[in-house]
Amino acid sequence: MSNEQSTLPCGWAMAPLGTLGNFINGRGFKKSEWSDKGLPIIRIQNLTGSGESFNRYSGPLEEKHRVNPGDLLVSWSATLDAYIWNGPTSALNQHIYKVEPFIDKLYLFYCIKAYLVRLVEQIHGTGMQHITKGRFMNTMVPVAPLPEQRRIVAKVEALLAESKTAREALDKVPVLLRRFRQSVLAKAFRGELTQRDPNDEPAQKLLERIRQERNKRKQTSLTDNQKEPPADLPKLPETWVWTNVGHISENYDGKRIPVKDKDREKMKGDLPYYGASGIIDYVNDYIFDGEYLLISEDGANLLSRSTPIAFIAKGKFWVNNHAHVVKTCGQIPLAYVEAYFNSISLAKWVTGTAQPKLTQGKMNTIPIPLAPLEEQKRIVAKIQELFSLADGIETAVKKAKQRADRIDQAILAKAFRGELVPQNPNDEPASVLLQRLKSKVKQQSTIQTELAN
């Protein structure tokens, strides 16, 4: 405290937090007192936003436990923070203080927010989970002259508003990047992402070579899953052709082996174990060795698309029965088919609602626009270039958000070091204000004692 006192601006003073307002603890409501009508009971989750529903109370309530819009509240058990209540008139629950300030309310609000961060760091450093009432009330905080308190509040709120605007702008970037990536993929498979090269071999010849190769390996019959694509598909560039996934890929689902959680515990290792949405574990053995395309077979993600539907697995790995395993034919880049699957909606081919499923048969019928082989490579390279750009922006935004999250605390730190606004030597010193408050509190205490007798 002495160090802080010695570095205070002229006219400032240190004071225990508990002397700067009347801190009224909430009422302990029994579960039997809860009702479906009456005043909402403010609990910590209603302040933090982790719970929006209220329990209610319709019985008699002391005025001190009544909270009105604009009241200053402090949660001091488990979750430590200060709030300005902006809800309806409510009842105050225990472990939350309603504060009747003796100084500027918003100055006290921001001061508590700033110093609670220090308290949280201190109690976590000692292994404690909760702050005691005594420690909270005796926390020494800097008090500026009253006119300066109001100047500080005005400056803090202006800077916090700018910080909020910046964070809101950053929050929009991930959505814009998702749209950008989808736009890139959509253009790629309309032939709008790369230039045509007249020297490229048409895709129809590539498709014929794939068919001839299959004939040599006695894969001559086209099953129902490999029928020609519908004739009413969108028009493609002249050297492109529509085909089906089953025409240009070979399926290895028959090699998959699911392993139960308890059995995987006995085979822990460093080789990836894949499921429908990527790596879910690591094991000490493998089924596949090479480069394959994995495509989700089941799960809500087939429709929600919260993670990629298709992803490439390389090296030695294991796959359970929730992801299809395919290789492409004719040197078609796996990344080309991967990008296409991640660009389209699979709703038309997915069966089931409670547990969506993309069967191997349905997957093989999915139409895919086939570009000339050399153009496929250019498309993949362009997608990777643009996605890399988007990834770089995303990384920069994450770092900027981390910095922005620290800005608010930095603003408060500067405010309560007296570095945010200039001091005015004509302001009444805080020591005089605190002495007046001390006299007032002492007088009130004397009156209460006399009334009690």
| Predicted pLDDT of residue 135 | 86
User: Distance between CA 346 and CA 229 in Å, rounded?
Assistant: 16
How does residue 221 score in pLDDT terms, banded at 50, 70 and 90? very low
Q: Which residue has the higher pLDDT, 448 or 324?
A: 324
Q: Kindly state the average pLDDT of the residues 349-364.
A: 93
Evaluate if residue 453 carries a pLDDT over 80: no
Half-sphere exposure at residue 443, Cβ-oriented, CA atoms within 13 angstroms: 6
pLDDT surpasses 90 at 231 = no
- What pLDDT is recorded for position 222? 46
Tens-digit pLDDT profile for residues 242-266: 999 999 999 999 999 999 999 999 9
Cβ–Cβ < 8 Å for 44, 9: no
The pLDDT of residue 181 is above 60: yes
Q: Cα separation of 100 and 76, whole Å?
A: 16
- CB of 368 within 8 A of CB of 342? no
CATH class of the structural domain 201-371? alpha beta
Smallest CA-to-CA distance from 112 within 87, 141, 84, 91 is with: 141
pLDDT of residue 162: 96
Residue 351 has pLDDT above 50, yes or no: yes
Task: Reply yes or no on whether the pLDDT at 127 is more than 70.
Answer: no
Q: Which is higher by pLDDT, 425 or 222?
A: 425
Between residues 124 and 185, which one has the greater pLDDT? 185
pLDDT, mean over the chain: 91
Under a CB-based contact definition with an 8 Å cutoff, are residues 298 and 321 in contact?
Answer: no
Grade residue 288 by pLDDT with cuts at 50, 70 and 90. Answer: very high
DSSP structural state of residue 93: B
* Angle made by CA atoms 54, 84, 444, in degrees to the nearest 5: 105
Give the pLDDT score at 126.
55
What are the distances in angstroms from CA 355 to CA 143, 319, 344, 350, 432? 61, 20, 20, 10, 71
Packed helices 373-415 and 146-188: angle between N→C axes, nearest 10 degrees: 180
pLDDT in tens, 297-313: 999 999 988 889 999 99
Work out whether the CA dihedral 84, 90, 93, 97 comes out positive or negative: positive
Contact 203, 240 (CB under 8 A): yes
CA 227 to chain centre: 43
Per-residue confidence (pLDDT) for residue 5, from 0 to 100: 61
225: confidence class by pLDDT, cuts 50, 70, 90: very low
Q: What is the mean pLDDT of residues 405-431?
A: 94
Q: What is the mean pLDDT of residues 141-146?
A: 97
- Output DSSP code: residue 71: -
List the domain boundaries for the chain. Answer: 1-14+142-196+377-453, 201-371
Mean pLDDT over 109-115 rounds to 95
Q: How far lies 426's CA from each of 147, 214, 219, 430, in Å?
A: 10, 93, 95, 12
